[in-house]
A and B are shown apart, each in its own frame.
Chain A
Amino acid sequence: MDFFDRFAVPHPSFLIYASMVGIGLTMLAIVVGITYFKKWGYLWREWITTVDHKRIGIMYLLSALLMLFRGGVDAIMMRYQLSMPENTFLDSQHYNEVFSTHGVVMILFMAMPFIIFFFNYLVPLQIGARDVAFPRLNALSFWLFFMGMGLFNISFIVGGSPDAGWTSYFPLAGNEFSTSVGTNYYMIAIQIAGIGTLMTGINFITTILKMRAPGMKLMKMPMFTWSAFIANVIIVFAFPVLTVLLAMGTMDRLFGTNFFTTDNGGMDMLWANLFWVWGHPEVYILILPAFGLYSEIISTFARRNLYGYKSMVASMVVISLLSFFVWAHHFFTMGQGPLANSIFSITTMAIAVPTGVKIFNWLFTLWKGKIEFTTPMLYSMLFIPLFTLGGVTGVMLAMSAADYQYHNTMFLVAHFHNVIIPGVVYAMLAGLTFYWPKIFGFMLNERLGKWTAWLLSVGFVLAFIPMYITGLDGQARRMYTYSESTGFSAMNMVSFIGAAIMAIAFALLVYNIYYSIRYSPRNIGNDPWDARSLEWATHTPVPEYNFAITPQVESTQPFWDSKKNGHELFKGEIEKIHMPNNSGLPFIMSCIFFVFGFAMIFSIWPLAIITLIGILACLAYRSFEKDHGRYISVEEIKETETRLRGAKK
């Protein structure tokens, strides 16, 4: 193939050309805008080189929101394509690319950064720490994630997107059937982002184990920190599997090895097994922090301590263990035999038990509580019935014999959206609304927020409940069109209407942010929700060093006790505080990683070798670097404290 031919999109259509122009113009507008307002220096000093966990968290949040809309557009295009029989809006190849990227973007580049935003922003504040254990590694994690995300997204306009599904099963994803560079993008972009996530896992386990405030025993940690801890343990155990898997997939595609091919001894089922050995725990990496957020929100707005703290922790530990023993339920129908099917059927159903324990704990927390229906609480209330429905259909799918009917139908699609949208997306939106005042210093509008929650839920029910019905009727997933005679069209039209309502809800969220930036009052104090844990005990906006004096902890809700029961949080004098220095190295190294990934995708070997040497040179430079951070003086802290105390009045 001619050198430049590889960069062309293999199946161009009007839609792709239009988005190319759109992306080009947006990029140009951003660059011109930053230059015009002379913000490059500010951007470099305050954001790109930052090692502050709060700023890194906010950058994760921005990436997640950006990807939420990219994945959302994919979703709308799919629902529109299926809303009518014999629709010609998307051709089959384009449809394949859209559902493949929708899956990857939503799971890995939207949900993951969203939860990592909460890890970053909340965990150090909740445990009363100054920062994470390895601040610079944290910056590197973010930038690697960001570059992986960027690389994955340019697949759309340079060379072609992945088209073998988000699971990328071989032999379909092999060179023989996926001829464009799309699947190379999948292998390498996810690899780069995955390394970043693995380092996040190591960082947060160390942070939570070693940096808790005095008195905060493990069984006194806030529930979100517990969920973050367990999710990070799962990350450290599951992500290396993905690393190896993607490396082997890359070698199959680029170097002609035979891991997953169907000749020379290759085994396609090895991909499926290893993919889900990572992929199933991944589901729990997403859902456990969501449960943690719900626990915080429900106990705050029921004005009660969380019911069954110990059983909440125990159930999360059990879920994390079970999550590694259920992967084969993803291929009940691929001939693994009745014994294996039975074992994986039972382990899968067993997960419903600890999850049920959590649901009952939330219900018991609400019982006799003085419930306040704020927007975050509304999301949590909508979550409980909707998520339970998704859980029940999950148990239906766990019956391996019945799975021969559901397999690869819309029923499955409805099930996993039914757990992941009320489970994860609602938790993210609830958490975002809940913590927005702590992060940005003003509240989001409650009225608009409630409208968003209700519209989202109505849209959600309309979009996904019909899929259960057509799925049981035999509508296969990933089918790009169908004929009139199948009778699927009415239900699919309802689905499309539901998806459109969800789109309106997300637009309303954006409007809410715009509206609140303009009109929300700024004098809200440090604790607008009358909340319970340590993150609310510091100022808004949170100063760089988080807490001027390290808090003393005696119970699971120290801040609540300090407000109501006279517990003294901050004892002692202000001392100088040690902080890490900013560094450009994580960003520079990640940029080189980006070029390295690009060179690998297109098999440009000289460039790949040069950039690899560049990466190693960065590591060597870091090895010799002497950087012990700096101190913030007592006077400076006192000055900041007085200024912030003045600001809240």
Chain B
Amino acid sequence: MKVDNSLPLEYSTEENNLKILGFWIFIGAEIMLFATLFTAYFTLENRTGNGPTGADIFEITPVLIETILLLTSSFTIGLAIHAMRLNKKKATMGFFIVTLILGAAFLGVEIYEFTHYVHVGAGLQTSAFTAALLTTLGTHGLHVTLGFFWGLFILIQIKKRGLTPETANKSFIFSLYWHFLDIIWIFIFSFIYLKGMM
């Protein structure tokens, strides 16, 4: 394993370089995945059958809380990577922990939101609109959930193994993933919630 010390730790080996490029391509595939979900959502947006419309069920408060939580977590994972570049293990771990707590809080609010929808009669089976809505939100939520556990495992590895080329590489890729989920959320916020409430 050749380590090139002139580069940041996460880029310092050939394997690390490959992994970062591979992950960017994976994000390309993820963009297509969410683009398809959005396409399906916009196609079915007004096909509400006997169920409620978006304007009937959307509530701004929980959505704003979710947005603030997730956007902040994207900032803190950025700080974690910055600390990692400065080789500060404790600070890196600290910002990782903050990020994961914010992610978990986001999921908590989203679970509340889903039970609320079911409660007001907008379940998965109600109409094509609700199915598309819950599937799109659910897919994003599932990504955050997987990301939470993934981040947790990386955190444990940083604690046990320190900031090595390997853990730095994993952390950096995780941060790309986390930022990506944030960007998707901005689209969900703008084009599903705000558009639906207008």
On A, residues with C-beta under 8 Å from B are 133-134, 198, 201-203, 205-206, 209-211, 236-241, 243-245, 247-248, 251, 255-259, 261, 263-267, 270, 274, 277, 578, 616, 620, 623-624, 626, 628
Which of B24-32, B67-75, B95-103 lines the interface with chain A? B24-32
Known contacts: A256-B125, A270-B43, A620-B153. The answer to whether A240 contacts B22 by CB under 8 A is no
Query: Which chain B residues lie closer than 8 Å to A202 at the CB level?
Result: 22, 25-26, 29
Task: Decide: A264 and B50 in contact? CB cutoff 8 A.
Answer: yes
Q: Does B87 contact A (CB under 8 A)?
A: no
Query: Which chain B residues lie closer than 8 Å to A247 at the CB level?
Result: 135
Within 8 A of A (CB), among B154-198: 154, 156-157, 166, 170
Q: Which secondary structure dominates chain B's binding surface?
A: helix
Task: Decide: B44 and A244 in contact? CB cutoff 8 A.
Answer: no
Among A211, A238, A263, A623, the residue within 8 A (CB) of B150 is A623
Known contacts: A209-B21, A257-B131. The answer to whether A623 contacts B125 by CB under 8 A is no
Known contacts: A244-B33, A274-B36. The answer to whether A134 contacts B50 by CB under 8 A is no
Task: Decide: A257 and B32 in contact? CB cutoff 8 A.
Answer: no
| A256 closest partner in B (C-beta) | B125
How far apart are the CA atoms of A135 and B166 in the complex, in Å? 17
What is the CB-to-nearest-CB distance from A308 to chain B, in angstroms, rounded to a whole number? Answer: 29
Query: Which chain A residues lie closer than 8 Å to B1 at the CB level?
Result: 578, 628
Task: Decide: A239 and B29 in contact? CB cutoff 8 A.
Answer: yes
Task: Decide: B128 and A258 in contact? CB cutoff 8 A.
Answer: yes
Instruction: Give the size range of B's interface with the partner.
Output: 35 or more
Task: Decide: B32 and A237 in contact? CB cutoff 8 A.
Answer: yes
Task: Decide: B128 and A133 in contact? CB cutoff 8 A.
Answer: no
Q: Which secondary structure dominates chain A's binding surface?
A: helix
Q: Contact flags (1/0) for B30-51 with A, using CB distance below 8 Å?
A: 1011001101100110011111
Query: Which chain B residues lie closer than 8 Å to A203 at the CB level?
Result: 22
Task: Decide: B49 and A258 in contact? CB cutoff 8 A.
Answer: yes
What is the CB-to-nearest-CB distance from A179 to chain B, in angstroms, rounded to a whole number? Answer: 19
Known contacts: A258-B49, A628-B1. The answer to whether A267 contacts B124 by CB under 8 A is no
Task: Decide: A248 and B25 in contact? CB cutoff 8 A.
Answer: no
Task: Decide: B47 and A236 in contact? CB cutoff 8 A.
Answer: no
What is the CB-to-nearest-CB distance from B153 to chain A, in angstroms, rounded to a whole number? Answer: 4
How far apart are the CA atoms of A223 and B149 in the complex, in Å? 43
In this complex, which of A198, A237, A264 has the most chain B Cβ atoms within 10 angstroms of its Cβ? A264
Q: Does B132 contact A (CB under 8 A)?
A: yes
| A260 closest partner in B (C-beta) | B128
Query: Which chain B residues lie closer than 8 Å to A198 at the CB level?
Result: 29
How far apart are the CA atoms of A247 and B32 in the complex, in Å? 14
What is the CB-to-nearest-CB distance from B149 to chain A, in angstroms, rounded to a whole number? Answer: 7
Task: Decide: A241 and B32 in contact? CB cutoff 8 A.
Answer: yes
How far apart are the CA atoms of A288 and B39 in the complex, in Å? 28
What is the CB-to-nearest-CB distance from B183 to chain A, in angstroms, rounded to a whole number? Answer: 16
Task: Decide: A265 and B49 in contact? CB cutoff 8 A.
Answer: yes
Within 8 A of A (CB), among B116-150: 124-129, 131-132, 135, 149-150
Among A201, A205, A266, the residue within 8 A (CB) of B47 is A266
Q: A134-B19, A578-B1 are in contact. List 18 more A-B contacts (CB 8 A).
A: A198-B29, A210-B17, A238-B32, A239-B29, A240-B29, A240-B36, A245-B36, A247-B135, A251-B135, A255-B125, A256-B124, A257-B124, A257-B131, A264-B125, A265-B47, A620-B149, A623-B153, A623-B154
Query: Which chain A residues lie closer than 8 Å to B17 at the CB level?
Result: 210
What is the CB-to-nearest-CB distance from B132 to chain A, in angstroms, rounded to a whole number? Answer: 7
A-B contact pairs, 10 of them (CB 8 A): A134-B19, A202-B22, A202-B25, A210-B18, A236-B28, A241-B36, A244-B36, A266-B44, A267-B128, A620-B153
What is the CB-to-nearest-CB distance from A483 to chain B, in angstroms, rounded to a whole number? Answer: 41
Query: Which chain A residues lie closer than 8 Å to B51 at the CB level?
Result: 264-265
How far apart are the CA atoms of A256 and B125 in the complex, in Å? 6
Task: Decide: B28 and A258 in contact? CB cutoff 8 A.
Answer: no
What is the CB-to-nearest-CB distance from A244 to chain B, in angstroms, rounded to a whole number? Answer: 4
